[in-house]
């Protein structure tokens, strides 16, 4: 790797569309989400700078680390979560046909794998802080992971089969060429939206940090800067999750690039955020065992049905 | 996985008031639940003995922020009975009216809280927005949103004008429409169904055995309502039905409260259309001859009991308040055991607990098996000594 490409990679990672852009856009999406929920719930909602103000407030506050916890791990986990999310973003095609880092066969699997790392850090965060609320919360994180991860992966396999590729750029390109097939992915898209809601631990799947039951869940003992970074990681995960769905189901950049492609990317992520916000206000939080039942008995079979539909479509196409 | 003991409270997001539940968990399921009370004892009964009957009215109102009218009505009924005063019917009608408006506000509040505890914040926001309508009615009629202070000994302080009547009827109409919508939501929304059905089971026999009251017991199919069993105010003249439900769970409690709202709207219309002419208060002498009175009142949360003993002075000899939450707490421990951790806040909220109303103190010496009630002087002495031990001497201040 020469100096030039190293420099470009660093800019990608740190400035755009990496850490800085993700922070700004993540906070913006958090505001959009909060404002949408507020409007749907018949109230005012926060001003546009509220998420940034919350983050800055947390960054300057004192960080308290419990004596009983594993200090090194406790401190390092938020950064791992953020690093994994930024890495995932680099592999997703955003505003042009290709992803920022060179695309390869199977990068979809790598993205899903990288997006699992934040969840694992949430589990470790709760487990390493050793308080009863955190312990229960982190057990719920893991239980939930096993519930939504399979439907999410299955729902992504459908488009991959149809496009005949494990490469996100090629899947996007396929739907750009055959926009008609996007409509056939409706079931898979809905499954993916619900699974993403579970991944982001939002209502009705905010079971790991259900405040009425276990206070802050896995983050109960976190405070100050570390909590701020964890919250930021969740916001970033929303952006990356929305980008992933946009690349897999909504045809990526539709052959556009530059400013037009970026506008399309923002529009699509906003649309996904809208759907997620709608889900958030429409339902009551369900119990962890109901969540597992729902994911395995309804979401997973629905995703399988989508795969079946895709196989049939593909065989028809080849005829 | 070994068993974990989780403290729920005294400081916890699910609880609005300090109380403590120690939960022994096996995974996500509760093996054992212990309730610890007494974080919010305010010495109200003792304080009442130091004040005149009229002053006590304002003290008793503050037993509870939500059923403030229930407590004062029960108290003034006691005082009036002890003084053998004849309260005009118009005053009784206004008391009944405020009592039913209070039930509407309390039940709407509860539906919101239940929504919040099951993680359905939209329901919470919606019901509390609608509840403003009934609070506006109460403010218009009494001048206050929470502590209405409409009662006075011998009657009520304010009359209901013709314009107010029209306005209240209009708002009740709006609310009835909204309530029908909530009933539809509660019956049809699958996540509400999933979170409330078969949660916090309290079978018919257990409800009777543990002496549950109010909507909690009516949701277990027990026909128990003071308004029907022992009619007070104008309730024997009004037409309303006693709502029960036989699912014995939180869902039943939700349905009972929602349907009771509809009954309350019916009652409010009847009272406003009935409203007899006449004075709204009579004079009652400040000193009351020795007597002992006990009265029951169906507060929104259940049966509220007040006992009053007078001694010929202008102050009560003894006043005893039994708030409905105390009667329902025995059932909570039963309902929690064997349930899920996720359902604990909902099960506790389902009795509509009000801990500040409930806490009372009695000194019990385990060694000598003696019970003792302190008088005012003893309590004062104890207080001064306690602060001295902490290094605060009030005489030097």
State the ipTM, two decimals. 0.81
pLDDT (mean) for B88-114: 91
- Assigned domain for B32 exists: no
DSSP letter string over chain A?
Answer: --HHHHHHHHHHHHTSSSHHHHHHHHHHHHHHHHHHHHHHTTS----TTHHHHHHHHHHHSPP---TTS-HHHHHHHHHHHHHHHHHHHHTS--SSSS-SSPP-TTHHHHHHHHHHHHHHHHHHHHHHH--HHHHHHHHHHHHHHHHHHHHHHHHHHHHHHHHT-S-HHHHHHHHHH-GGGGGGGHHHHHHHHHHHHHHTT-TTS-GGG-HHHHTTGGGTT--HHHHHHHHHHHHHHHHHHHHHHHHHHS-TTTT--HHHHHHHHHHHHHHHHHHHHHHHHH-PPPPHHHHHHHIIIIIHHHHHHHHHHHHHHHHHHH-
Do residues B93 and B183 both lie within one domain?
Answer: yes
Residues B321 and B372 in one domain: no
Q: Which residue has the tokens 């239980």?
A: A143
Tell me: do B267 and B392 sit in the same domain: no
Sign of the CA dihedral A122, A125, A129, A135?
positive
pLDDT, residue B360, reads 67
Residues of A in contact with B341 (CB under 8 A): 136, 213-214
Q: Which of B272, B305, B327 is the last residue of a domain?
A: B327
Q: Phi/psi of residue A140, each to 5°?
A: -65, -35
A107-129 vs A132-163: helix crossing angle, rounded to 10: 180
- The per-residue pLDDT for range A160-169, each reduced to its tens digit, is 888 888 888 8
**Of the given ranges (A253-267, B65-79, B237-251), which has the lowest mean pLDDT?**
A253-267
Among A36, A200, A283, CA closest to B119: A283
In which domain, by residue range, is B372 found? Answer: 365-397
Measure the CA angle with vertex B279, ends B276 and B283; round to 5°.
Answer: 140
Inside any domain, residue B26:
no
Which residue of chain B comes nearest to A41, CA vs CA? B122
Could you report the per-residue pLDDT of B261-305, keeping only the tens digit for each? 999 999 999 999 888 888 888 888 888 889 899 999 998 888 889
Q: Is the pLDDT of residue B373 over 90?
A: no
- Quick one: pLDDT at residue B1? 57
**pLDDT exceeds 90 at position A53:** yes
The better pLDDT of the pair B243, B11 is held by: B243
The answer to whether A300 contacts chain B (CB < 8 Å) is no
B191 to chain A, any CB pair closer than 8 A? The answer is yes
CA gap A132, B130 in Å, rounded = 38
* Predicted local confidence at residue A191, as pLDDT: 92
Question: Where among B297, B327, B357 does a domain terminate?
Answer: B327
B 20-39 near A (Cβ less than 8 A) = 25, 28
Give me the residue from B116, B121, B341 closest to A213, CB to CB.
B341
- From the list A52, A81, A77, the residue with the least C-alpha distance to A65 is A77
Residue B5 contacts A, CB cutoff 8 Å: yes
| pLDDT higher than threshold 80 for residue A254 | no
What's this model's pTM, rounded to 2 decimal places? 0.84
Tell me what pLDDT residue B39 has. 79
Q: At what angle do helices A19-40 and A50-60 cross, to 10 degrees?
A: 120
Q: Give per-residue pLDDT as tens, B131-189.
A: 988 998 898 898 888 888 888 988 898 888 889 889 999 999 999 999 999 888 888 88
The 10s digit of each residue's pLDDT in B177-229 is 999 998 888 888 888 888 888 888 889 998 888 888 889 899 998 888 888 88
Tell me, what's the pLDDT at B294?
92
Asked if pLDDT for residue B371 goes beyond 80, the answer is: no
Sheet holding B4-8, edge to edge: B4-8, B20-26, B29-36
Phi, psi of B297, deg, nearest 5: -145, 135
Nearest CA to B227 out of B242, B210, B206 is that of: B242
Residue at which a domain ends, from B279, B304, B327: B327
Same-domain check for residues B264 and B171: yes
Question: Structural domain tally of chain A?
Answer: 1
What pLDDT is attached to residue A319?
52
pLDDT tens string A272-311: 899 999 988 888 888 888 889 999 999 999 999 989 988 8
Share of chain A above pLDDT 70, in %: 98
pLDDT range class, residue B237, cuts 50, 70, 90: confident
Over B74-94, what HEC string results? Answer: HHHHHHHHHHCCCCCHHHHHH
Where is pLDDT greater, at A50 or B34?
Answer: A50
Mean pLDDT of A197-217: 84
Closest CA–CA distance from residue A106 to any residue of chain B (Å)? 37
Number of domains in chain B: 2
Residue A257 has pLDDT above 90, yes or no: no
Domain membership flag for residue B394: yes
The answer to whether residue A281 neighbours chain B at the CB level (below 8 Å) is yes
Co-location of B308 and B372 in the same domain:
no
Q: How confident is the model at residue B377 (pLDDT cuts 50, 70, 90)?
A: confident
Judge: B194–A133 Cβ closer than 8 Å, yes or no: no
Contact A203 B14 (CB under 8 A): no
Which of A207, A279, A211 is closest to B117 using CA atoms?
A211
User: What is the average pLDDT value for chain B, to the nearest integer?
Assistant: 86
Burial class (CB in 10 A: 0-12, 13-18, 19+), A284: buried
B353 located within any domain: no
* Residues B391, B312 share a domain: no
pLDDT value at residue A73: 87
Q: Is the residue at B115 inside a domain?
A: yes
- Name the residue range of residue A257's domain: 3-318
Both tokens of residue B201? Answer: 């089971």
Give the model's pLDDT for residue B143.
86
φ, ψ for residue B84, nearest 5 deg: 55, 45
The reported pLDDT for the residue numbered A248 is 86
């Amino acid at each position: 790797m020469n100096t030039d490409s190293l420099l470009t990679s660093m800019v990608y990672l740190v400035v755009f569309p990496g850490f800085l852009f993700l922070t700004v856009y993540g906070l913006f999406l958090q505001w959009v989400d909060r404002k949408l929920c507020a409007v749907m719930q018949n109230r005012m909602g926060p001003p546009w700078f509220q998420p940034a103000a919350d983050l800055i407030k947390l960054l300057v506050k004192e960080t308290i680390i419990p004596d009983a916890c594993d200090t090194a791990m406790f401190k390092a986990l938020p950064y791992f979560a953020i690093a994994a999310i930024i890495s995932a973003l680099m592999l997703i095609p955003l505003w042009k046909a290709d992803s920022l880092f060179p695309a390869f066969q199977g990068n979809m699997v790598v993205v899903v794998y990288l997006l699992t790392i934040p969840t694992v850090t949430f589990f470790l965060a709760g487990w390493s802080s050793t308080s009863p609320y955190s312990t229960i919360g982190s057990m719920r994180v893991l239980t939930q992971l096993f519930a939504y991860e399979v439907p999410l992966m299955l729902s992504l396999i459908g488009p991959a089969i149809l496009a005949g590729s494990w490469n996100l750029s090629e899947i996007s390109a396929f739907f750009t060429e055959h926009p008609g097939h996007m409509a056939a992915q409706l079931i898979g898209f809905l499954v993916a939206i619900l699974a993403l809601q579970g991944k982001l631990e939002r209502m009705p799947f905010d079971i790991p940090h259900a405040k009425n039951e276990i206070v802050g869940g896995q983050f109960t003992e976190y405070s100050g800067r570390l909590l701020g970074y964890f919250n930021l990681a969740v916001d970033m995960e929303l952006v990356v999750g929305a980008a992933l769905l946009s690349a897999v189901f909504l045809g990526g950049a539709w052959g556009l690039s530059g400013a037009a492609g970026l506008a399309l990317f923002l529009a699509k992520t906003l649309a996904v955020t809208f759907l997620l916000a709608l889900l958030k206000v429409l339902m009551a939080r369900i119990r962890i065992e109901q969540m597992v039942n729902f994911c395995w008995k309804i979401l997973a079979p629905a995703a399988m049905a989508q795969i079946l539909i895709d196989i049939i479509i593909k065989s028809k196409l080849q005829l | 996985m070994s068993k974990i003991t989780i403290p729920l409270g005294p400081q916890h997001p699910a609880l609005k008031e300090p109380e403590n539940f120690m939960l022994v968990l096996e995974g996500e399921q509760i093996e054992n639940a212990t309730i610890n009370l007494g974080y919010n004892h305010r010495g109200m009964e003792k304080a009442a003995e130091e004040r005149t009957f009229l002053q006590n009215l304002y003290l008793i109102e503050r037993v509870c922020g939500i059923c403030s009218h229930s407590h004062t009505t029960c108290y003034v009924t006691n005082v009036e009975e002890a003084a053998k005063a004849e309260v005009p019917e118009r005053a009784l009608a206004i008391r009944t009216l405020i009592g039913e408006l209070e039930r509407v506000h309390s039940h709407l509040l509860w539906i919101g809280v239940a929504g919040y505890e099951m993680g359905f914040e939209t329901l919470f926001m919606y019901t509390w927005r609608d509840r403003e309508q009934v609070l506006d009615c109460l403010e218009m009629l009494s001048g206050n949103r929470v502590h209405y202070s409409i009662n006075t000994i011998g009657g009520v302080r304010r009359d209901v004008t013709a314009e107010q009547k029209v306005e209240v009827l209009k708002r009740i109409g709006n609310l009835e429409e909204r309530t029908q919508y909530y009933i539809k939501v509660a019956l049809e929304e699958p996540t509400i169904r999933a979170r409330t059905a078969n949660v916090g089971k309290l079978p018919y026999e257990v409800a009777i055995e543990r002496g549950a009251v109010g909507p909690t017991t009516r949701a277990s199919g027990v026909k128990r309502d003071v308004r029907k069993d022992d009619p007070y105010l104008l309730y024997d003249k009004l037409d309303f039905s006693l709502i029960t439900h036989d699912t014995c769970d939180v869902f039943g409690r939700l349905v009972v409260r929602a349907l009771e709202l509809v009954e309350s709207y019916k009652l409010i219309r009847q009272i406003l259309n009935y409203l007899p002419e006449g004075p709204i208060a009579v004079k009652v002498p400040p000193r009351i001859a020795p007597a002992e009175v006990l009265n029951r009142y169906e507060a929104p949360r259940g049966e509220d009991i007040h006992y009053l003993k007078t001694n010929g002075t202008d102050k009560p000899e003894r006043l005893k308040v039994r708030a409905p939450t105390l009667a329902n707490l025995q059932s909570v421990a039963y309902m929690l055991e064997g349930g899920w951790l996720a359902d604990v806040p909902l099960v506790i909220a389902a009795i509509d607990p009000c801990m500040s109303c409930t806490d009372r103190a009695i000194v019990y010496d385990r060694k000598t098996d003696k019970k003792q009630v302190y008088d005012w002087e003893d309590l004062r002495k104890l207080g001064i000594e306690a602060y001295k031990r902490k290094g605060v001497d009030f005489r030097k201040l």
